[in-house]
Amino acid sequence: MAESSLTDASHFVVDVVISKHKPHKVSVFVDGDHGVTIDHCSDLSRALSEDLDKLDLLKENYLLEVGTPGWINP
């Protein structure tokens, strides 16, 4: 679902982590051939949030984080 929400073909999902503790935290890490901006992360976060809410996969409140793995984990 995260990959289908990407609006730029040069971006890709590096990892998705879902915590088991409540409230569930969904962390999505993205990268791109030419980097990723905060605007890219915001766009993806909005799209993913809408998709998760429509599909009602988590059934409970959740926190959604979208970011990059950073320069330490390229």
Q: What's the whole-model pTM score?
A: 0.80
> Does residue 11 belong to any structural domain of this protein?
no
How many Å from the N-terminal Cα to the C-terminal Cα in the chain?
Answer: 22
pLDDT in tens, 14-70: 899 999 888 889 999 999 888 899 999 999 899 999 888 888 877 788 899 999 988
Total domains present in the chain? 1
d(CA 57, CA 43): 20
Let me know if 11 is exposed, middle or buried by CB neighbors in 10 A (0-12, 13-18, 19+). Answer: buried
> Does residue 44 belong to any structural domain of this protein?
yes
With 90 as the cut, is the pLDDT of residue 73 above it? no
Which one, of 15, 25, 18, 10, lies nearest residue 69 by Cα?
15
> Does residue 37 belong to any structural domain of this protein?
yes
- Give the residue numbers spanning the domain of 44: 1-6+31-68
SS3 at position 23: coil
State residue 34 phi and psi, 5-degree precision.
Answer: -120, 25
